Amino acid sequence: MAAPVVSPDEPAVSDKTDERSPAWRNVLLRVVIATGAGIMIYFSGPPRTLWWLAPLGFAVLGAVLYGRRARAGFGYTLCAGLGFTVPLLAWTGEFVGVVAWLPLSLAEALLMGLAGAGIAAVSVLPAWPVWAALIWVAGEWLRSIFPFGGFPWARIAFTQPDGVYLPLASVAGTPLIGLAVAMTGFGVTMLVRNLLVDRQPRRIVAPALAVLLPIVAAFGALPLVGTDANDGEATVAVIQGNVPRAGLDFNSQRRAVLDNHAERTEQLAQEVREGKVKQPDLVIWPENSSDIDPYRNPDAWARIDAAARAIGAPIAVGSVLLGDDGLPRNTILLWDPEQGPIEQYTKRKLQPFGETMPWRPFFRLFTSAVDRAGQFVPGDKAVSFPMGNATVGFATCYEVAFDGVVRESVEGTNLLAVPTNNATFGYTEMTYQQLAMDRVRAVEHGRAVAVAATSGVSAFVRPDGSISQSTGMFVPGALVETVPLRTTTTLSDQLGPAPEWVMVLAGLGALGVAIVVRRRGRASN
């Protein structure tokens, strides 16, 4: 039997293999593009000021997702999520290893994948950029409550402290900024598609509006961003005493940390006496500035008391107090120079993989490093401190990422303080990411923000989100500034979480309609 003759113009493989090969190449290409979109979004955030990369990242992701099935949307957005969260959250593994960093990044990316499935599904609907952006906001809401009590660190709003969208925070907080950025990006997707792919220039009006309306709205919100001192002024001192060394092990020299902050406060008092700086009305020490419980250690009490008497002003002292159960509480003490501690606030939102260790027995199977994480007990209510003529609300470190926590902390105050300890995470980008959150919160709530960090970056943030002063990292320092005190209730505070609920429900409603449309389409075929 003669062998079959193969023409040189025909592939020497089966038709089935030939059909699959280009398909897999296309899938791989889309995976690379989607991952690149996530990396673009990551690079849009601090310490960089490339805010415009975020909407461009969404435009690229939208090009991959549009017209795909939900399953494909999940997979491609999972890749984009990994491109975003793996570098963003690298600080979580700085001292406890990849057992914290990579599982947390994967969990966040998986939740982003769910949003991506919905974004792909609603591409059968008109006005897709709007519905897609609403579903993205719904995904951010889900990540703010799950897993581990929520981890909203990757909200798109926190990439935008230098962007044109920032004024929208005063209208409806971080969800509105996320909506605006995503809508702009997805609008660019449809604009390019209609012009270059489908070649239908008559259909550019709707996507052009999706691109432009969020930007126009942001500029329209500028008059709502107030900076006036409508409740007077206060001279505030922020102390950055520094730590002996970076990492979790800095706690082994906690007396040195306390001494550093006391000495820098006493040095500031000397500078005040010499007329070099103004006498502060109040002083903010960082989180963990006294990890020695002053109620149980008379020497710590004496050290803090001496510093308060030297500066002649109340100090908010970040301390760790032991409860009757023997477990620690991350606490801010109001230390009066005459009366000692008279009030306290206990941190309500604790940082997983640091102050607590979720699923500790499970993760211990992989590494003993999990036992370096703490067993802190959370507080249950917001507490403000009367300090001079200021009424100060507190969002301690990780808490500043949570919309509801900060909203409760600001109520009834005229100044927001963020005591934080970023020494645990060394020279990573964590401190800059958190400072970006402080800047967004300043605009969202119309408050000046005093940021006190053990090792940096400490700063003063104006109510418009701009930074007036800041320190370096792992250097001692003291910042003194007269800040505006404001009692204005922003539209965002008046509306509370309602706008986010509306966005989430609208996105889910659109998803429901899209599912019905797709099923009818299959049935008709």
Answer for the pair 172, 217: CB distance below 8 angstroms, yes or no: no
Location of structure tokens 């922003």: 490
Q: Which contiguous run of DSSP H or E holds residue 207?
A: helix 205-220
AA letter at 441:
R
Distance CA 176, CA 438 (A): 17
Two structure tokens written together for 216: 């126009």
Answer for the pair 240, 264: CB distance below 8 angstroms, yes or no: yes
Distance CA 315, CA 333 (A): 8
Distance CA 247, CA 252 (A): 10
- DSSP-based three-state secondary structure for 331: strand
Two structure tokens written together for 172: 């409806």
What burial class does residue 102 get, using C-beta atoms within 10 Å of its C-beta: 0-12 exposed, 13-18 middle, 19+ buried?
A: middle
Answer for the pair 335, 306: CB distance below 8 angstroms, yes or no: no
Distance CA 185, CA 16 (A): 37
* Rounded (10°) CA dihedral 379, 384, 385, 387: 150
Secondary structure letter of residue 198 according to DSSP: S
* Rounded (10°) CA dihedral 91, 96, 101, 103: -160
Instruction: Put the strands of the sheet holding 233-240 in their side by side order.
Output: 340-346, 328-336, 315-322, 282-284, 233-240, 477-484
Best CA proximity match to 139, nearest among 110, 168, 180, 177: 110
Distance CA 108, CA 33 (A): 19
Two structure tokens written together for 454: 């053990």
For 316-329, give one letter per residue: b (16+ CB within 10 A) or e. Answer: bbbbbbeeeeeebb
Answer for the pair 504, 141: CB distance below 8 angstroms, yes or no: yes
Answer for the pair 363, 371: CB distance below 8 angstroms, yes or no: no
* Contacts (Cβ under 8 Å, ≥6 apart) of 361: none
Name the residues annotated as catalytic: 287, 347, 397
Answer for the pair 447, 172: CB distance below 8 angstroms, yes or no: no
Distance CA 452, CA 396 (A): 10
Distance CA 415, CA 234 (A): 9
Distance CA 63, CA 128 (A): 12
